[in-house]
Structure 1
């Protein structure tokens, strides 16, 4: 999947090195809001860091072990969504996502998730998609809940971020459940 259209104004496309400057700008403008729940903004100090991230993502894509796509809305890079890995042996993946602060509340992640989930089940022939989210991240938790994921459990003290341990909720959806709910 190099480009998938969600609607007239929104699409996702695999990130390429030429997107590094735009990606860095979105992260830099949203450093505070993203940093509340994610560790990568603290390590993204310049355009070169975004370029390195994209290059690593493309290497993972080439190795069939996940990749990151940009979420574009009305011609602007709004955020990113990706497969953190692809576990072929167990036929599953985990989706991660984030949006720049100027794009929150428009349903963009929900639309992008649908595209990524369809791709996972249809093209990659996976059986399960997971989404893991900090328990206190109310806005992000709404996405898998809206899409029909099952809350499978909580991983306590999953991550140390901003001076505190954050618990993570593991959400999962199976291919058969997705088809029943969304087709």
Structure 2
């Protein structure tokens, strides 16, 4: 299995696969309330079977070049993740997403991991547009989008039914020429 260093603090980016189901469930359980404040992952991954099924869905997406899932590890412990929920090389569009346990929020792990996958998608895979869909209430995730050089395209008002309420969803994006210009400066 490959691991990409995310800095000198013991953080790495690694693939998440069905064989990691127990570890993935334990990770979600540690951050269930925090992660679930804005992200539906804890509602999907509730036991070992659903953990394995979620990881299998992404393994199938990866096999079809349609989505990817990566873990963020610190000193070998799974503490968060990043993904391409959508990855479409024909339309040159991808949608990135993330989550992290509460004890690891605010350390720049998600931003660093997203930089790695976005750079790969643009430079190696020819993706032109990377989108970031985020609840307007999720200010930490919006801050990540800003740090990644994304621009807010707009707000889809009350478009996301989540836990009995309707949330406004913002769409942020970065285009390949913008990404390259930001890297060069």
When the two structures are aligned, how many residues end up with a matched partner?
A: 183
**Is residue 129–residue 172 contact of structure 1 (8 Å, CA) maintained in 2?**
yes
Give the drift of 1:2: 4.8
Q: Which stretches of structure 1, 4 residues or more, deviate above 2 A after TM superposition?
A: 1-5
Q: 1: CA distance between counterparts of 2:15 and 2:152? A: 28
1:168 aligned partner: 169
Is 2:6 the partner of 1:6?
yes
TM-score (norm 1): 0.95
Matched, 1:98 2:115: no
Instruction: Report the equivalent of 2:138.
Output: 137
1:36 and 1:162 in contact (8 A); partners too: no
State the Cα RMSD in Å. Answer: 1.4
> Which stretch shows the higher mean deviation, 24-33 or 36-45?
36-45
Q: Which moved more, 1:171-180 or 1:86-95?
A: 86-95
SS in 1 for 2:6: strand
Report the Cα distance in structure 1 between the residues aligned to 2:126 and 2:163, rounded to whole angstroms. 38
Name the structure 2 match of 1:118: 119
With over 3 angstroms needed to count, the CA separation of the structure-2 counterparts of 1:5 and 1:50, relative to structure 1, is: same
Structure 2 gap segments, 5+ residues each: none
Does residue 26 of the first structure (1) align with residue 33 of the second (2)?
A: no
What CA deviation, in whole Å up to 9, does each residue of 1:51-109 have, x standing for no partner?
11111111100101011111111211011111011122220100011001221111100
Who is 1:85 aligned against? 86
Distance of 2:87 and 2:40 partners within structure 1: 21
Give the TM-score normalised by structure 2. Answer: 0.94
